[in-house]
Structure 1
Amino acid sequence: MTPSSRPVRRSLPWLLAGLSMIGPFSIDAVFPAFPLIGGDFGVGSAELQQLISVYLLTYAAMSLFHGAISDAIGRKPVIVAGILVYALASAGAALAPSYSMLLACRALQGACAGAGLVVGRAIVRDSLEGAAAQQLMSRVMMIFGIAPAIAPMVGAQLLSLDGWHGIFWVLMGFTLLLGLALIQFLDETHPPAHRSAFAPGALLAGYLGFGRDRPFWPLLISCSVNFAGLFLYISSAPRIVRELLHLSKQGFPWLFLPVVIGLISGAWLSGRLATRRSVAFTVNLGYASMLSACALHLLLAIVLPQPVLPWSMLPLVLHGVGVQLAFPTLTLLLLDRFPHHRGGASSVQAFSSLMLCSVVAGVLSPLLSDRMLFLALGASTLTVIGWLAWRWYQRMTPRLLQSERAVPGVEEDFETELAEPR
């Protein structure tokens, strides 16, 4: 299957970016509301962390199905339905009379939110190939990078208007408007002739088929761990800002602005490198940036046991640059392993990444966020695992990484590799 010959609408990057922003807003905008939610329902910090963990767990579980369903019935119906149900779940959260009901609505939000992210990646690869696909992915990520910065600030401002309920009303309004825009402007990129029937047995067989492809594993690990080191700091934001930096609810930009500056800069640089440098150069540069950030975090945590602004947060810029340099290329390489089942491959990648992020938010963050040194050690370990997986993939497929373009649009090379004994 080759990318569609239909010209890509100018609205596509904005629609995909809007879909990508739902995740950061669902997580980051809620952080400033933790004290109010805890006070209203009489729950502590451990229970409040479940607002993140429950969301991520259902997000991960349903991400296994979004892509495969879109392979069967098309991309657009899956995305539109997911967004509209997410809007209903947001309204339910705003009206929740108990903490259990709030958690149930968060679970439903997570189950629907992944449709846009998972299927959106397949849309990119349906529409374009090679360097053009990486450039579109990078443009989407540049827009997406704004969300983590404005989400906690928007959440903090809404607290003075309608408490924590206003956050969920805004999420409902945003997703309703986005749903209407998708209905009007999103083209279907997966025509009926290319669709495959959805069946649990076939789905399981397809996922097992992914596992039999040896290069799939290092790519999956590297893609999944790529963001986890940075997410450790993001998910620990309430404790870093309030307990380690001793700031008020207005202090979240001190953490999120460096992250956003890094993410946007890295996405811009990734797009610039798409037609200029090879796969190996782009991803290696990304990991060099991430590893350098980890080294700076460790050094600052040792020299400054008590974090000091702005120095303790500045390495997050470098970490964000590295994440966005590596991620678009790694994702497209993974999807191109299975050109006829990109939706399913995207589902597996999203599931793996989100399960890891749920562990980071629910287990590692509570354990490590007491001290910046512990956070630095955790982020460094995760980043090194991703780098080792990338090196593993490089040794497996050296010839595919010699292309002058950052992402080779030559599906036949991947299909030939899959046919070769390993």
Structure 2
Amino acid sequence: MLALTSIWTTILLAAAVALGPLAVDMYLPALPQIGADFHAGTDQVQLTLSVYLAGFAIAQLICGPLADRFGRKPIMIGGFLLFTVASIGCAMANNIETLQLFRFLQALGGSAGPVLGRAIIRDIYTPREAAKILALLASIMALAPAVAPTLGGLMVGGLSWHWIFIAMGGYALVMAAVTAFGIPEPLKPEYRQPLRLCHLFANYRRISTDASFIGYTLTNAAIYGGLFAFLSGASFVLIDVLGVQPEHFGFYFAAIVVGYIAGNLGSIRLARYLGPDQILFYGLITALAGGAIMALLAYQQVYSPWAVMIPQAIFMAGTGLVLPQCMAGALANFPTMAGSASALFGFTQMTAAAIAGAIVGALHNGTPMVMATVIAACAGLAMIGYLLLVQRHPAKAFETGKASA
């Protein structure tokens, strides 16, 4: 077993949390081919993503309290095993409805990694330290969306989209073994919460009425909605509209990953000189600039892959600054119920992502305009959330770093 504060533990947690984005990013190049094979429209194919996000959101509300009661490890291992079984079901699907069903089951299992990864970081570190570790974890984790679309595109071109889901299932099975034998249980026995319905509701009521939690969570949800607006529309815009080959999709996608990693690493460096909420503000300005530039180019009918990818890389640099601060800030006031707080945070995040993705899928008009508009709007909403809520109700424990792990 590794020490909880070891860099290798952080790397393993990053690999576990990466299952969430892997399940989204790896099959993006396959969306047009899935639609063609099943004779399904863009809205039906996009629903495989929205269904996944909806299931991911709902499942977090369940696995968070379970992990607060029984510990992080057994819930993570169970989630990985369910994800493996559901991935096999996706690979064997013979119509779009079956694929949607197994994507939902995939999400139920896949939610355990991200929600409990955040909770484990909060178990181990103080809130201010957690912001730095989450930024480091996100930088490591960003390798998944950098590599996943390229691998997915190569599988679509050389094999078939079914092999994408087989690869996902194999990865989840490996992570179940790694979690079982490599990571110690981080939840202290005295922090375990009783699994009674009235107690769960009381915990969620306390968390959901905390002003700082609301501010950080809604700001995060809005910026995450912008990210998933891009993920929902990118394959259709780049491949169908702008003529990018599926096997080349991952190389274009890598541009936004570079922006995201730059934001994460910038967050770590800026933490030496700036407070977390200052970093958050600069990140929001950057994201808003990226979204506005993309929308302006789309409305000017500048239709080029780089008119999409460069502004999105700017947006993702801002996102890399924003997300670690929001995650750590939202969990700062809840050291004894980090699983439940992380679950509610993740539920709100993924609900916003599902709504933004569904809007892009429903309104897609054969141009980048709808996707760009939704991304810019989400960045604007995130800035409003910061100005109206976070600025007025910062998490005191987060800012001072005095709360104990």
TM-score (normalizing by structure 2): 0.93
Alignment of 1:403-414 (within 5 A): 407-411=399-403
Instruction: Identify the match of residue 326 of structure 1 among 322, 325, 336.
Output: 322
Aligned to 2:114: 117
Alignment of 1:87-236 (within 5 A): 87-236=84-233
- With over 3 angstroms needed to count, the CA separation of the structure-2 counterparts of 1:103 and 1:378, relative to structure 1, is closer
Q: How many residues are aligned here?
A: 402
Aligned to 1:62: 59
Query: CA offset at residue 374 of structure 1?
Result: 3.2
- With over 3 angstroms needed to count, the CA separation of the structure-2 counterparts of 1:250 and 1:334, relative to structure 1, is same
Structure 1 contact 49–362 (Cα < 8 Å) conserved: yes
Aligned to 2:303: 307
- With over 3 angstroms needed to count, the CA separation of the structure-2 counterparts of 1:216 and 1:144, relative to structure 1, is same
Instruction: Identify the match of residue 44 of structure 2 among 42, 47, 65.
Output: 47
Structure 1 contact 131–274 (Cα < 8 Å) conserved: no
Is the counterpart of residue 293 in structure 1 residue 312 in structure 2?
no
Query: CA offset at residue 368 of structure 1?
Result: 4.4
Instruction: Identify the match of residue 347 of structure 2 among 347, 351, 364.
Output: 351
Q: Give 2:311's aligned amino acid.
A: P
Is the counterpart of residue 277 in structure 1 residue 269 in structure 2?
no
Instruction: Identify the match of residue 21 of structure 2 among 10, 20, 24.
Output: 24
Determine the C-alpha separation between the residues in 1 that align with 2:91 and 2:181: 28
Aligned to 1:237: 234
Query: CA offset at residue 150 of structure 1?
Result: 1.8
Query: CA offset at residue 289 of structure 1?
Result: 0.7
Structure 1 contact 22–113 (Cα < 8 Å) conserved: yes
Residues 297-318 of structure 1: per-residue CA shift (max 9 Å, x gap): 2332244x04224244211121
**Residue 51 of structure 2: SS of its match in structure 1?**
helix
Query: CA offset at residue 160 of structure 1?
Result: 4.1
Aligned to 1:417: none
Structure 2 contact 290–315 (Cα < 8 Å) conserved: yes
Q: Percent identity?
A: 27
Determine the C-alpha separation between the residues in 2 that align with 1:130 and 1:211: 18
**Residue 303 of structure 2: SS of its match in structure 1?**
coil
Structure 1 contact 32–238 (Cα < 8 Å) conserved: yes
Residues 164-184 of structure 1: per-residue CA shift (max 9 Å, x gap): 111111111111111111111
Query: CA offset at residue 101 of structure 1?
Result: 2.7
Determine the C-alpha separation between the residues in 2 that align with 1:35 and 1:217: 37
Aligned to 1:3: none
Determine the C-alpha separation between the residues in 2 that align with 1:362 and 1:179: 31
Gaps of 5+ in 2: none
Structure 1 contact 82–112 (Cα < 8 Å) conserved: yes
Instruction: Identify the match of residue 370 of structure 1 among 338, 357, 366.
Output: 366
Instruction: Identify the match of residue 78 of structure 2 among 81, 91, 99.
Output: 81
Determine the C-alpha separation between the residues in 2 that align with 1:251 and 1:263: 20
Is the counterpart of residue 391 in structure 1 residue 387 in structure 2?
yes
TM-score (normalizing by structure 1): 0.89
Residues 317-338 of structure 1: per-residue CA shift (max 9 Å, x gap): 2111111101111111110122
Determine the C-alpha separation between the residues in 2 that align with 1:397 and 1:86: 38
Query: CA offset at residue 208 of structure 1?
Result: 1.7
Q: Give 2:58's aligned amino acid.
A: A
**Residue 262 of structure 2: SS of its match in structure 1?**
helix
Q: Give 1:375's aligned amino acid.
A: M
Aligned to 1:337: 333
Structure 1 contact 244–306 (Cα < 8 Å) conserved: no
Q: Give 1:42's aligned amino acid.
A: H
Query: CA offset at residue 266 of structure 1?
Result: 0.6
**Residue 202 of structure 2: SS of its match in structure 1?**
helix
Structure 2 contact 56–350 (Cα < 8 Å) conserved: yes
Determine the C-alpha separation between the residues in 1 that align with 2:344 and 2:131: 20
Residues 3-39 of structure 1: per-residue CA shift (max 9 Å, x gap): xxx6512322221211222122211222222343334
Gaps of 5+ in 1: 1-5, 413-422
Residues 59-80 of structure 1: per-residue CA shift (max 9 Å, x gap): 1111111111111010111111
Structure 1 contact 258–313 (Cα < 8 Å) conserved: yes
Q: Give 1:350's aligned amino acid.
A: G
Structure 1 contact 237–255 (Cα < 8 Å) conserved: no
Structure 1 contact 274–407 (Cα < 8 Å) conserved: no
Determine the C-alpha separation between the residues in 1 that align with 2:11 and 2:247: 28
Determine the C-alpha separation between the residues in 1 that align with 2:72 and 2:395: 33
